[in-house]
Each structure stands twice: as structure tokens, then as C-alpha cells.
Amino acid sequence: MKTIVIYNSQTGFTKRYAQWIAEASGADCFSLSEAKNKNIADYDAIIYGSWACAGGISKLGWFKNNIGKWADKKLIAFCVGGSPIDSPEIAPALNRNFNESELQKVSVFYCPGGFNYEKMSGPSKLMMKIFIKTLKAKKNKTEADDEMIKMISSSYDISDKKYIEPILKCLGK
């Protein structure tokens, strides 16, 4: 099966996962800007990966706008975020990015990445500072809130190659 992995990465975690998937599956791998100049119709499987931003998948519109013309393709989307794999918020957040008919056509996965404040854009850093400040100011903070504050207050990396296994299985690898 001829496969392409297309990624949108801000700080490198999504690119790392895209490269791991491509390497393990023998797929071609391109950034979103490079992929826009490729003949994607030549591929049997299309994998799109991007980073999580406030529960949304960054630049997902491009992928979603093409689902209809890729009806005969195996479609996979993955999202990379800073939450651990077992976070209960992940599944509902991922599913909010697709409507029911899209979810019947696209297999969706989550891969834990982390935060790299040194590589983050200015607006993203600002958004995270505001989010942390809001969490700290919360009156009835839960243990989960305190844990979140600790986790996202500095850069960290929880990415691991093992998290691509479900994607490879979906591909039949």
C-alpha cells in the first residue's frame, strides 16, 4: 500500500511522530506545505498529523476539505499533544474535530508529545501563560488542576515510539 504521511508541526513532536510512522511503514513523509505540491491521489493511504491546540487539531481544515475526494483511500489522522495517553479528555476532544460521517471515513489517534517552550511561537507561549495563570487563580482547584499546572509550567517530552503502534496496526503493518 503506497502511503504518505503529512504533518504540521510547531515544536517538533508531530514531525518526530510522522517520521517514526513513515520509517516503520515505508511511507513518504512531507510537511503540510510540501505535501500541497504533491499528487496525493497517487497514494492508497493518507495519514495527517498535527498538534493539539485547545482541544482542536491545528490546520485540520486542509485534511477535512479533501476527505470527499479521497473516498477510495485509507484515511488516518493523528494528533500530538501535551497530555498523557490515559487522559480522559483526549477521546472527546479528538472526536469534536470530526463530524459523524467523517469519523466513519477517518481513523483518529492521539500521540503524547510534550511542550517545548523554546520552539513555541510567541502567540502560543502567551496563550499557555494565560492558561497557567487562569488555572493558578482558580478558587476550587482540584488535584488534577495542580498536576496540570506542574506539568505545563516548563518544557517536557513524553513522546515514545510505542504510541505509533495503533496507527501501524490500522495500516496493516
pLDDT, one tens digit per residue, over 16-47 is 999 999 999 999 999 999 999 999 999 999 99
User: How far is 6 from 36, CA to CA, in rounded Å?
Assistant: 9
Pairing of strands 56-57, 45-53: antiparallel
Across the 173 residues of the chain, what is the mean pLDDT of every consecutive 10-residue run?
96 97 98 94 96 87 94 96 88 90 95 91 88 91 86 90 98 89
What pLDDT does residue 128 have? 86
User: How far is 82 from 153, CA to CA, in rounded Å?
Assistant: 12
User: How far is 139 from 67, CA to CA, in rounded Å?
Assistant: 44
What pLDDT does residue 149 have? 86
Which cell numbers hold the place of 68?
Answer: 470527499
What pLDDT does residue 159 have? 96
User: How far is 119 from 70, CA to CA, in rounded Å?
Assistant: 33
What pLDDT does residue 165 have? 98
User: How far is 1 from 130, CA to CA, in rounded Å?
Assistant: 45
